[in-house]
Amino acid sequence: MAMTEPGWELYRSFLAVAREGSLSAAARMLGMTQPSVGRHIRQLEVALGVALFTRSPRGLALTELGDELAAHAQSMDAASAALRRAASGSRQDVRGVVRISCSDVVGAEVLPPMLVTLRKRYPGIVIELSPSNRVEDLLRKDADIAVRMVRPTQGALVARRVGSIPLGLYAHRRYLKAHGRPQKVGELAQHAIIGFDHETPALRAIRHRLPFGREHFALRTDSDLTQLAALRAGFGIGVCQCAIARRDRQLERLLPDAFELELDTWLVMHEDLRTSHRVRAVYDHLFAALKNYVGGGAGTEA
């Protein structure tokens, strides 16, 4: 007897429970009733012939096989979202939904003014902004466009180099008044340094050029926005994009001759989206705006 192919709604409920950890939380997220979500899980388990969850003191936990299937369900969810974005506007119209992936600090500090001018030019475009230091998979269509700080290597992606964003060491005037200004790199060890907790691919690319490591940090966080907030609050000395620091007169640059980094910046999209008018319009707008933000350097396709 042939097994009936489970419908997407069953997988959607499965993924919601996997993410939320309980039937009630998944039901709230999906706008469904708890019994309906529970029924979907039972139907999916029967159709697949496997147990997907076990009960634990903290709720429902994925079984080993359930965890493996969740990765495939996430791919299905990404494909479903990509289908909805594609259906939101025809390839001829400059309207519809475009999803942009970028780092936290780029999403909060760099892109918003660029999106204002984009909105004026293309009011029919709806932007889904996904700020996260987790690199979303463009091949899987998790996003349409990504701002990356490392050069993509996948052949199916269209990548244009925007340029290099200059980084410098900065501190708030309040911190410098209380703790003094370091005159050379060796004196940084005497100060409160703000830095990362775990290394990202972008950090690994410049790690050898940093004059300090994780063991020197008085504040460790993987959130770029938290680092920036701590810098602005006067907690200590940290690395900041020069263009962002210039907006705040209370932030002062330290040791410019001894410490300067450049963050390579790329704008990326899947090659299948070249002919999408709405995606191409956003891509071209962002490239020009980011290139202006970086402060020069020709973009080249790779």
What span, in angstroms and rounded, lies between the C-alpha atoms of 81 and 125? Answer: 16
Give the per-residue pLDDT at 272: 79
Does residue 302 have a pLDDT over 70? no
Give the per-residue pLDDT at 49: 85
Does residue 125 have a pLDDT over 80? yes
CA distances (Å), 207 to each of 236, 253, 281, in order? 20, 20, 35
Give the per-residue pLDDT at 19: 84
What span, in angstroms and rounded, lies between the C-alpha atoms of 45 and 53? Answer: 9
Q: What is the CATH number of domain 87-163+269-294?
A: 3.40.190.10
195-213 pLDDT per residue, tens? 988 876 666 666 666 777 7
Does residue 126 have a pLDDT over 80? yes
155-179 pLDDT per residue, tens? 678 889 999 999 999 999 999 999 9
Is residue 133 within 8 A of residue 200, CB to CB? The reply is: yes
What span, in angstroms and rounded, lies between the C-alpha atoms of 299 and 249? Answer: 31
What span, in angstroms and rounded, lies between the C-alpha atoms of 284 and 68? Answer: 38
pLDDT-wise least confident of 45-49, 150-154, 243-247: 150-154
Distance of CA 225 to the CA centre of its chain: 12
- The matching CATH number, chosen from 2.90.10.10, 1.10.10.10, 1.20.950.20, 1.20.1440.230, for 8-84 is 1.10.10.10
Q: What is the CATH number of domain 164-263?
A: 3.40.190.10
Of the chain, the percentage scoring pLDDT greater than 70 comes to 85
Does residue 185 have a pLDDT over 50? yes
CATH 1.10.10.10 residue spans of the chain: 8-84
Give the per-residue pLDDT at 137: 54
pTM (2 decimals)? Answer: 0.66
Q: What is the DSSP secondary-structure string of 172-223?
A: EHHHHHHH---SSGGGGGGS-EEE-SS--HHHHHHGGG-S--GGGEEEE-S-
Q: Please state the rounded mean pLDDT for residues 92-113.
A: 88
What confidence tier does 1 reach under pLDDT thresholds 50, 70, 90? very low
What mean pLDDT value characterizes the chain? 84
CA distances (Å), 118 to each of 53, 183, 212, in order? 45, 43, 39
Give the per-residue pLDDT at 116: 96
Give the per-residue pLDDT at 300: 41
Give the per-residue pLDDT at 45: 85
Q: Please state the rounded mean pLDDT for residues 292-300.
A: 61
What span, in angstroms and rounded, lies between the C-alpha atoms of 228 and 169? Answer: 12
What span, in angstroms and rounded, lies between the C-alpha atoms of 188 and 194? Answer: 11
CATH 3.40.190.10 residue spans of the chain: 87-163+269-294, 164-263
Specify the higher pLDDT residue, 57 or 70. 70
